[in-house]
Every structure is written in structure tokens, then in C-alpha cells.
Chain A
Amino acid sequence: MRRKLVYTFIYIFLSISAFISIFPFYWMIVGSTNASVDIIKGKITFGTKFIENFKNLIETFGLGQVLLNSLEVSIFVVIGSLIVSSLAGYGFEIYKSKSRNRVYAVVLWTLMIPPAALMVPLFRLMNVFNLIDSLWGVILPMIPSVFLIFFFRQNFQQYPKEIIMAARVDGASELRIFFSIVMPSMKATYAAAAIYAFMTSWNAYLWPLVIIQSSEKRTMTLFISNLASGYNPDFGVVMTGVVVATLPMIIVFFALQRYFVQGVLGSVKQ
């Protein structure tokens, strides 16, 4: 009897929490099917304006190019930062040296610098490389990720060192060991890291905002910020834009979800 009561409370609590987390999504989707006036009035039922909003979004605001830009940025950031960060994490874990942990500490400290403080120096650096107003200027600074280095190192800690040693005895080069033996057996870790890298690069706002100047190179976040900026924005179009911007994230998450849970738990069991 008491157990039932406890469960009732748990379910009520969980239902409320679920409602709170899902409602914004629900409203976003409903909003994309309504006209701006109805959204302001607080209509929370489905309307019939989705196709109109979507057409508006593509025709008047040039959605296609923006999506392409964002995809390019995200794909290159994901590939780049998986390779760079996992190599760094691997290096920190496998190769022992006196100053290893000191260097690692310095790397971790950089997590404490707020990104906004890096904008001005980073902008000057990109000017030297001639990368202002180019998508490479967006991609390159986002590739090294301290969090991912940390994440990979944690995961490599559980990797059986005996396998690496055995590979060395068999005469494999260090890079070969990494790419042919370690990497393929850590799929789950890589999947989790890929979700993280995709999420941060897809949602990146401040840096693309500063470095991108021309409209045809804008990424999704800048595009949405502009949509919602007017004195009188068309909220139907804004909501449709947000739906479109959320889709790739959802797709990536569900495609890699199976690995994600495993990856966070740890890849290799001994």
C-alpha cells in the first residue's frame, strides 16, 4: 500500500517534469503551423499555416544556403575535433613523461576562460591568417576542444594497455596502433563525442557571429537570431525556422543514441 503511494508521487512528479521539458517543443511545433497573430494570442492547438510559413522561410529568407553552411561547419568540426581531441587524450594517457600532468592541468585550466574573453584575440589571429568572413575561420578555432580531450583521456584510462603492448611487439607503428586497433574498439566513445561536437558546433553562436560578415555565409543560429530580431517579427516563420534548426540535432542524436549511453558509461569492459 505504501509502495503504491510512493509510486503515485513519483509518477506525478515525473509527469510534471516531462510536461515541463516537452511543452516548449510542443509549442515550437504548434507555432510552426500557425500565423504570427495567433501565436501572440497564445494559441496552442495545431493550425494550417505550416506550408505557408515554410515557403516564406525558404523564399524570402534563403534557408537552403544557411543550412548548407551550418552542415559544412558541423561536419568539419566533428571530424576535426574527434581526430585532434582523441589523439591528444590518447597521448596524455598512454605516453608517460614527467611534465605530462602539469601540461594536462594547464590545458584543463583554459576551461575557466570565458569564451567571450577570447573573441578579440581570436579575431586578430584570424585576421593574420586571412580567414575573416570565411567558414574556415568558423571551423578552425572550434576544433580543439578541451572538454573532449578530457573525455577521451578518461575513456582511454579503461583501455587495456596490454593490447597496445601486444601490438607494439607485433611491430605496429604508434599511429597504426591508434587508428587500427584503439579507435575501432572505442566506437561508443567516439559516437558520444561526435554528438557533443555536433551539438556545440551546430549551436555555436558568438564566434560565427563575430567572424562571418556576409549574409550568404551565415550559419543557422545567426539566421534565426535575425529572423526574430525585427520590431515585429513573424513568429510563425521564426518557429518554423527553429523546427528546421532542431531537426538535424534530433536526427544525429537518435542515430547515435544507442552508442551515447554506452559511451558515457565507458567503452571497453575488462
Chain B
Amino acid sequence: MKKVILMLLIISMLIGLFGVVNAAKKVTIWCWDPNFNVAIMEEAASRYQKLHPDVEFEVVSMAKADVEQKLNTILASGVKRGLPEIVLIEDYNAQKYLQSYPGSFADLTREFNYKEFAPYKVKLMTLNGKVYGVPFDSGVAGWFYRRDYFEQAGINPEDLKNITWDEFIEIGKIVKEKTGKYMISGDPYDGGLMRILLHSAGTWYFDEKGNPNIANNEVLKDALKIYKELFASGIMKETSGWNEWVASFNNGEVASVVTGVWIIGSIKAEKSQTGKWGVLPVPRLDLPGAVNASNLGGSSWYVLNNSENKDIAIDFLREIYAKDIDFYQKILIERGAFGTWLPAQNGYAYRAEDPFFGNQRIFLDFSEWLKKIPSVDFGLFTYEADGAIMGVMPDVYNGNLTIDEALKLAEEQFKNTLGF
């Protein structure tokens, strides 16, 4: 008897191990972050299901690195099964996928009216005149500052709307002197701020042809100089890793934060600082063509050409992400997701006053800055270039190398690793 039960148990386990055939109208979506992208996609799916009850959705939540690993393996294997309909790809990596796996992503040029999306977002997913994705969230950058600290230092935020980074450092010194607080915080070996600086000047690590533009990149030289000065002047608190960084402004140790709009959730997590924050446009580099608007991060949706229900997936993205204004209001309020479909920015959530930020209409400001972000071709190897430059930063900080020498070294190392 025992044996029979054991056999039955094993058989039932064996059956459970096999794959199940997919339902007819099912859209599978791969993305990361249960509280952000996943939750937003689930909201979008439930809205679409109200219009089309026969469509099923499966939003698979994975770590970002996992999504990338899976996508790379399956696309490289050439197998046409096991692919999701929709996948989320980080903007910096978009061209890498589009160029490495031609034909894998659906050409959406005629499916969407791309004039309705932020131009810089459309550019980064365009290859040979064709657009391959649906722009999603923006990392439009802002300069979040503590109203109380600035007031204490005798600084009027109204005067800070169009300043340069050099002026930023001077103001930082005043803040440090008068309040004892650091101006900003950050990891000296993190390239995030570098990307904000470059993007605001409409430049990247690569030229139009995709070749590295590091050693003779005037913007990059300026950016490195700013990095060095930020730390040398003592106005930047050194942190390492995300948590320490977030803690530095939650604890009230720093007077401002320069980063993407997505940080709002983390800033607002510290309820005791209600009313004490405000947002200004980011400083700019003192160079021709540089603007007081930039971007850090952001991602977009892509449809896989070989997936089963590709057409339903495209219709879904069009119905929600390019039509549903109310959807964009909801995800902004509930998740802090700043969309890049411009018509949504006339909605109520974008015009609302936020008591946490001293009743400033912050999203209205961000919408303005979003339109000013220069279009940049991210090329294929943003993170690799980032790594090469951050690799030489120790020598820049301690003065072993001049900025010119350091960038030359970084370009050599970058070329060697990638075989340019």
C-alpha cells in the first residue's frame, strides 16, 4: 500500500514537471522590479482586459540582469519558442540588442505616432530610420534641494535656475560653510552623474558612427574636471552603494541630490522632511550647446517578432501606452513613473501641487525639462565605457594622471577590451 501511494506521488510529480501548452490569446511580458515596472504593466494589462476580456496576460517579474541573460541566450540560440511578446529593455542597452539581433524585434514605425513621444526617447530606439520600441519611463533629471538648508545659507533658489556646475560648486561651498551640510552625496566611482553631465551637453562616449569618443571628447574632459572638483572641494559626501546614498539624504546629511526623477519615491519615504524639499533644473556644463536639462536611466517596451501573439501585444501597447491619459496619471501618483507620452502630461496628476515639495508643481517642471533633453545616440557599449572611465578615476583624484592622460588611458583600455 505504501508503495502504491509512493508511486502515485511520484507519477503526479512527474506530470507536474512537464510544460503546459499556452492559451490561445496570451501576452507574456518580461520586466523587472515588482513595485514599479511589474505593477505598472499589471495595471496596463487590467485596463486592456476591460476592453478585450478574451486576452490573457502573464507579467513575469525577474531581476534586470536575469531578463537580459534570458533574452541574450534565447535570441543567440535562434530558437523561436520561449520568447515573451513584450520585453522591457533599459535605454542604455537598447541599441546593443537592436544591432546584435537584427530582425528579432518588431518594427513599430507605422504602428505608433512617434511625434507624441519625447524626442530623445524615440531616437535611442531608432535604427536605420525604423523605430523598434514603445517609449516608457523617463529619467529626466532634476536638482532636488533642501529649502530649509538653502534658506539657512542665505541662498535664494530663484537665482539658481540656469547656473553652471562651476557655480554649483561655489554655492556648495557656501552651504557647507553656513550649515555644515554636504551639498551632495555620491559614489566617486559611479558613472551616473557622468551620464547626466554628458547627456545635458548632447554628447556621449561615442561618435555618430559608434566609435569611441573618449580621449578627445571636450565634454568628457569638462565632466571629469567637475567630478574631481566636487570631491576635492569637500562639498560631496562619499557614499558607496545605493542604500548608503539614499540614507545620506534621508538622514538629512546633504542639502541636495542631482539625479533622475525616479528618486522621488526614495526622497518622499522620509515623511519627516515634508515641505522641506524643492526641485530645480540641473546645472549645465559651461560649454556651447549644453542645456539645463538631462536624463539618467529609463527604459522602454519592445515587441518580439517571433512571439506568438505579436499583433495583440502591439495593439495592447497602442491602446494603453499611446492612448490612455488616465493610466499615466495613475502610475505617476501610485508608482512615481514619469511617462514619456507627451499628451499624458496635460493630465491632472502632472499639474498637481505636492505638499512634500512645498506645494511646488514639480511634475509640470519636469515635463518642461523633459522636452529640452538633447537627443543622444547611446551607441552599444555605454556601461563598458562607463567602467573604463571609472577605472582611471582613482588616478585622477590623487593627481597621478592629468585628465587628458587619464582619458587617453581609458580609451585604450576600452578599445582593448572590446576589440575596436
| Chain A residues with a Cβ under 8 A of chain B | 40-41, 72, 76, 119-121, 123-124, 127, 130-137, 139, 206, 209-210, 213-215, 222, 225-226, 228-232
Q: How far is the CB of B75 from chain A (nearest CB, A)?
A: 10
- Whether B74 sits at the interface, judged by CB under 8 Å, is yes
Task: Report whether A226 and B247 are in contact in the complex, using a CB–CB cutoff of 8 Å.
Answer: no
The answer to whether B33 touches A229, judged by C-beta atoms less than 8 angstroms apart, is: yes
What are the residues of chain B within 8 A of A41 when measuring CB–CB? 247
Assess the A123–B79 pair: CB atoms within 8 A.
Answer: yes
Closest CB-CB distance, B303 to chain A, in whole Å? Answer: 17
Quick check: is B419 within 8 A (CB to CB) of the other chain? no
Q: Which of A127, A206, A225, A232 has the most CB of B within 10 A?
A: A232
Q: What 7 A-B pairs are tightest by C-beta distance, nearest first?
A: A229-B63, A134-B19, A135-B17, A230-B33, A132-B82, A127-B79, A225-B63
**A134 contact from B18, B34, B35, B262, Cβ within 8 A:** B18
Q: Is the CB of B36 within 8 A of A214?
A: no
Docked CA distance A127–B79 (Å) = 7
Bound Cα distance A229, B33 (Å):
6
What are the residues of chain A within 8 A of B384 when measuring CB–CB? none
Q: Which of B214-267 contact A (CB under 8 A)?
A: 243, 246-247, 262, 265-266
> Residues of B contacting A76 with CB < 8 Å?
17
**Contacts A124-B77, A210-B69 supplied; 12 other A-B pairs, CB < 8 Å:** A40-B246, A123-B77, A127-B81, A136-B18, A209-B70, A215-B60, A225-B66, A226-B66, A229-B62, A229-B63, A230-B36, A231-B35
Majority secondary structure, A binding face: helix
Tell me the complex Cα distance, A47–B145, Å.
34
Residue contact A132 to B18, C-beta cutoff 8 Å: no
How close is A129's CB to chain B, nearest CB, in angstroms?
Answer: 11
Q: Which residues of B lie under 8 Å from residue A135 when comparing CB positions?
A: 16-18
Chain B interfacial positions (CB closer than 8 Å to A):
13, 16-20, 28, 32-36, 58, 60-64, 66, 69-70, 73-74, 76-79, 81-82, 84, 243, 246-247, 262, 265-266
CB-based contact A40/B243 at 8 Å: yes
Minimum CB–CB distance from B247 to chain A (whole Å) comes to 6
A72 to B60 CA separation, bound complex (whole angstroms)? 21
Contact residue among A40, A222, A226 (Cβ-Cβ distance under 8 Å from B34): A226
Cβ distance A229 to chain B, nearest Cβ, rounded Å: 4
Q: Give Cα A229 to B31, complex, Å.
A: 10
Q: Is the CB of A222 within 8 A of B19?
A: no
Residue of B nearest to A135 (CB): B17
Q: Is the CB of B73 within 8 A of A123?
A: yes
Q: Is A124 a contact of B19 with CB atoms below 8 Å?
A: no
* Bound Cα distance A22, B84 (Å): 42
| Contacts known (A40-B247, A206-B69); A215 close to B32, Cβ less than 8 A | no
B263: nearest residue on chain A (CB-CB)? Answer: A231
Considering only CB atoms, which chain A residue lies closest to B61 in the complex?
Answer: A226
In the assembled complex, the Cα of A132 lies from the Cα of B77 at a distance in Å of 13
**A209 touching B33 in the complex, CB below 8 Å, given contacts A40-B246, A136-B18, A225-B63:** no
Closest to B243 in A: A40
Which residue of B is nearest A73, CB measured? B17
Contact, CB under 8 Å: A132 / B58: no
